[in-house]
Structure 1
Amino acid sequence: MPLTRADEAFARALLEDDPVALYERAPCGYLSTTADGVLTKANATFLAWTGYEVDDVVGQPFTALLTKGGKIFHETHYAPMLRLQGFVRELAVDLVRKDGSRLPVLLNASLDRGDDGEPRVVRLAVFDATERRRYERELLRATQEAEAARARAEAAERRSRVLVDTLQQTLVPGTLPVVEGLELHGGYRPAGDGAEVGGDFYDVFPTSPDECWLILGDVSGKGVEAAVVTSLVRHATRVLVATLSDPVEVLAQLDVQLQRHDTDRYCTAVLVRMRRLEGTWEVLCASGGHPPALLRSGAQEASAVHPGGQVLGLVPHAEFASTRLTLGAGETLLLYTDGITEGRNPGGFFGERRLLETVSRAPSGARPLVETVLAAALEFQGDHTSDDIACLAVTVTAGEPTAQVLDEERSASRA
């Protein structure tokens, strides 16, 4: 930074050892006042900064050079501190130049007392704080901009979370329909902190007082595109079951729609049709590459119901199959996604065997079963799931316990 004229004059005075020049041309302003604050002296540097002549300031109270705010600060801080401790350091105030503009400065002041202890003279060093004040303003502005950016980011995150939650609620029903003779209960837990919408879904829709359909599935990936495919599968299923009675045919048509859809997402799903039949429920369970449903019958250990079938929307001309069951009172069918069995901790995967054991020892009923399975899966993973989890259970509440596999229909369907 080039030297100012005052700096150059001060440097010359140092070389020449001229006390007067050292005072007058110092790189800071010097002022002297009486004990009650009347200006008695001002050096040339101060006069150059402010535009005043000597006669403009000598004889005037020091407060005449201050802004209104500075005058209040002088009376409430500067003067009391000076009287109390005999000095002040780096007080920031604004001086009013002769042309009315403001000069930000830092003040150092000391109070000299006479032999009798009474105040005699106050000496002030005035430092130009223009650059410092500019830096502080820029720093404050940068800080405010950073805070504003952070606030915008937090607001955007909150909006995104609301959007994710809202979108997820459209994929998993908040409440399930009431079907006489059946207890239905579903559960869903998002992966991680739930910041991104997942592809797991389930739905229940009665088509008559004696017929009810259940679907549970898992679309590959996460985010909006996965949610679009999930919504497509869920709503297309509702439309298809209005005209098709065979779950295999419904899965075949869903596969056709996914193959035609402009996406590389695929979907696994299990589709169940339940019909009331003489106090029991006839169940037709079809699968499209999904983990097997689990059947819990009385005190017996849970068993897998695995019709087989290929993934929806992944390969041309996928084949699907179904299994027929009859459920009686107290018997339960559990549908779930692989977020449970593929959940892991340092010891390995949760696995199908652990799930079968959990289902076998769970309390009876759809709700207790779902709550037990979810709790076990979350505890195994330390409450931090790496994948979404969804499960749906149905328990027959009326009729005779006659659950058994009547036959397995390995019917194939080509899209």
Structure 2
Amino acid sequence: MMCRTGQDPGEPDGIEDLAAADAAFTALLEDSAEELYEQAPCGYLSTLMDGTIAKINTTLLDWLGLSREQVVGRMRFTDLLTVGGKLYHETHFAPLLRMTGEINEIALAIKATGGRRLPVLVTSRVKTSADGEPMLIRTTVFDARDRRSYETELLRARQGAEEAREAAEEARRRAEADRERLQEALEVLQQSLLPSTLPAVPGLEAASYYHTASPDLLGGDFYDLFPLNGTRWAFFLGDVCGKGPKAAAVTSLTRHTLRAAALHDSDPVTVLTTLNTVLNERYTSGDTRYCTAVFGVLHPQGDTCTVQVASGGHPSVLIQRADGTAEFLPTPGGMLIGVLPQAQFTPARTVLHPGDTLLLYTDGLTEARIGPERELYGEDALRTFTTTQNPAGPQALVTALTELLAGFGQGLDDDTALLALGIPSPPTNTASEDRTCIR
């Protein structure tokens, strides 16, 4: 006997292994198609064109709990169906099969062993002769219980998802309603921290504007204008550190303190000193609260108005003159209000003439971010902008600044308050200008 190279003569020859494989393959070939048909995992049956069952496999018989003798030649396919399945077969399944010659996976139900109702998926095809005449119908029946379970679970999951979506939508609606109520409450509270309207000052014009950076947070900017006596008026504008309810509490305390202090002694430095004492004594437990502010007194006299101001850590007041120029009223060295027991505040004085406007503002304006580099807008840009505006009075200047703020978009991320006070320009007599000389 010849051996492979390196093969031990005592080992079986490879030919014997091949023979064993051939034997296994032969056994597979002997597994007839009929056996495969009978033991298939799904039901098979063939019927004549009138529905009489001519052939049925063992799998389907086991599902039905019937013998082959009970079924073949004795029953029709519709006899295997439940009442509902039979009705659907007669009204839809059979007519459609006659028209198309083929139907795939139609859901029906058969009468299974023990009187159970077995959901199935039925696929039928009409076999025709060589000349095209229909001969018989071959039908495959699949047990749909697993699929039904899957569909039921899928439906349950879909219903659960829909319920979750509806619950989320309801929660969103509630949250939106709560947010709207909160915004309404915050708006009312914010308005309570600002004058609803500015009083009319004889011989003067006043205008204001307030921009809220976030409708969900109370801002800390504030302003006011009120009479001291028959000839003098007090005004202030400031910015409390922080936002929210705590800042609002400080704002409320600040406004009332400034008003009360001004009625006792209207000297601007004295008023700010009183406010500093109140804030410093009130917030000494670690929760330091402070603000910046400008306080001033107006004393109209004839066609002019004397203005006395003092500043505590606040941006300088800007004056737009009737000749179109703009200048800051310097108040250097003014300290933050409420940080230290003793604070220094810087007074300043000026006179307004017809056409002049005094502008107070919070740092939301000058610290807005502009341009692709998001640079600070700054005081120089504000003064330049003011010089480009026609000196038409406080309302005209505030309107122009409001449009400027709107143009900052997302760059305006802080609350901003504006208060403008001035003497209107005398009306221009245009009669002589319109007079035409006729020669």
**Is the structural similarity TM-score above 0.5?**
yes
Match of 1:182 in 2: 204
| Paired residue secondary structure (1:148) | helix
Match of 1:387 in 2: 414
Match of 1:412 in 2: none
Q: State yes or no: 1:204 paired with 2:231.
A: no
**Are the equivalent residues in 1 in contact too, given 2:223–2:238 (CA < 8 A)?**
no
Match of 1:369 in 2: 397
Bigger drift between 178-187 and 355-364 goes to: 178-187
User: Given residue 206 of structure 1, which amino acid in structure 2 is its aligned partner?
Assistant: F
| Paired residue secondary structure (1:311) | coil
Where does 1:145-184 land on structure 2 (aligned, <5 Å)?
145-146=164-165, 148-149=167-168, 151-153=170-172, 155-157=174-176, 159-160=178-179, 162-164=181-183, 166-168=185-187, 170-172=189-191, 173=194, 175-180=196-201, 181-184=203-206
Match of 2:16 in 1: none
Bigger drift between 305-314 and 223-232 goes to: 223-232
Larger radius of gyration: 2
Change (3 A) 1:171 1:93: farther
Where does 1:275-290 land on structure 2 (aligned, <5 Å)?
275-290=299-314
Q: State yes or no: 1:335 paired with 2:354.
A: no
Match of 1:246 in 2: 267
| Paired residue secondary structure (2:328) | strand
**Are the equivalent residues in 2 in contact too, given 1:176–1:184 (CA < 8 A)?**
no
Q: Distance in 2 between matches of 1:91 and 1:239?
A: 88
Normalization by structure 2: what TM-score?
0.67
Match of 2:123 in 1: 109
Q: State yes or no: 1:346 paired with 2:372.
A: yes
Change (3 A) 1:123 1:25: closer
| Paired residue secondary structure (1:141) | helix
Change (3 A) 1:33 1:147: farther
Residue 295 of structure 1 and its aligned partner are, at CA, apart by 0.8
Gaps of 5+ in 2: 1-29, 428-439
Residue 94 of structure 1 and its aligned partner are, at CA, apart by 9.2
Match of 2:296 in 1: 272
Q: Distance in 1 between matches of 2:111 and 2:263?
A: 85
User: Given residue 116 of structure 1, which amino acid in structure 2 is its aligned partner?
Assistant: E
User: Given residue 316 of structure 2, which amino acid in structure 1 is its aligned partner?
Assistant: P
| Paired residue secondary structure (2:381) | helix
Change (3 A) 1:174 1:237: closer
| Paired residue secondary structure (2:358) | strand
Q: Distance in 2 between matches of 1:257 and 1:94?
A: 87
Normalization by structure 1: what TM-score?
0.70
Change (3 A) 1:138 1:245: same
RMSD: 4.6
Residue 353 of structure 1 and its aligned partner are, at CA, apart by 0.9
Give me the identity figure in percent. Answer: 31
**Are the equivalent residues in 2 in contact too, given 1:41–1:58 (CA < 8 A)?**
no
| Paired residue secondary structure (1:185) | strand
User: Given residue 241 of structure 2, which amino acid in structure 1 is its aligned partner?
Assistant: S
**Are the equivalent residues in 2 in contact too, given 1:184–1:395 (CA < 8 A)?**
yes
Residue 355 of structure 1 and its aligned partner are, at CA, apart by 0.3
Residue 162 of structure 1 and its aligned partner are, at CA, apart by 4.9
Query: Number of matched residues?
Result: 377
Residue 391 of structure 1 and its aligned partner are, at CA, apart by 1.7
Match of 2:317 in 1: 293
Where does 1:69-108 land on structure 2 (aligned, <5 Å)?
107=121
User: Given residue 251 of structure 1, which amino acid in structure 2 is its aligned partner?
Assistant: L
**Are the equivalent residues in 2 in contact too, given 1:197–1:227 (CA < 8 A)?**
no
| Paired residue secondary structure (1:329) | coil
Residue 304 of structure 1 and its aligned partner are, at CA, apart by 0.8
Where does 1:208-247 land on structure 2 (aligned, <5 Å)?
210-247=231-268
Q: Distance in 2 between matches of 1:252 and 1:155?
A: 47
Residue 166 of structure 1 and its aligned partner are, at CA, apart by 4.1
Q: Distance in 2 between matches of 1:121 and 1:24?
A: 17
**Are the equivalent residues in 2 in contact too, given 1:334–1:391 (CA < 8 A)?**
yes
**Are the equivalent residues in 2 in contact too, given 1:33–1:123 (CA < 8 A)?**
no
| Paired residue secondary structure (1:225) | helix
Residue 365 of structure 1 and its aligned partner are, at CA, apart by 2.1
Change (3 A) 1:351 1:116: same
Cα-to-partner distance string for 1:301-338 (whole Å, 9 max, x where unaligned): 11112334211223332222322333233221111111
Q: Distance in 2 between matches of 1:39 and 1:322?
A: 112
Q: Distance in 2 between matches of 1:314 and 1:148?
A: 49
Where does 1:47-66 land on structure 2 (aligned, <5 Å)?
59-60=78-79, 62=81, 64-65=83-84
Match of 2:337 in 1: 312
**Are the equivalent residues in 2 in contact too, given 1:271–1:286 (CA < 8 A)?**
yes
User: Given residue 208 of structure 2, which amino acid in structure 1 is its aligned partner?
Assistant: G
| Paired residue secondary structure (1:318) | coil
| Paired residue secondary structure (1:370) | helix
| Paired residue secondary structure (2:178) | helix
Change (3 A) 1:206 1:53: farther
Residue 351 of structure 1 and its aligned partner are, at CA, apart by 1.3
Gaps of 5+ in 1: 1-14, 401-415
**Are the equivalent residues in 2 in contact too, given 1:34–1:40 (CA < 8 A)?**
yes
1:257 to 269, 278, 300: 278
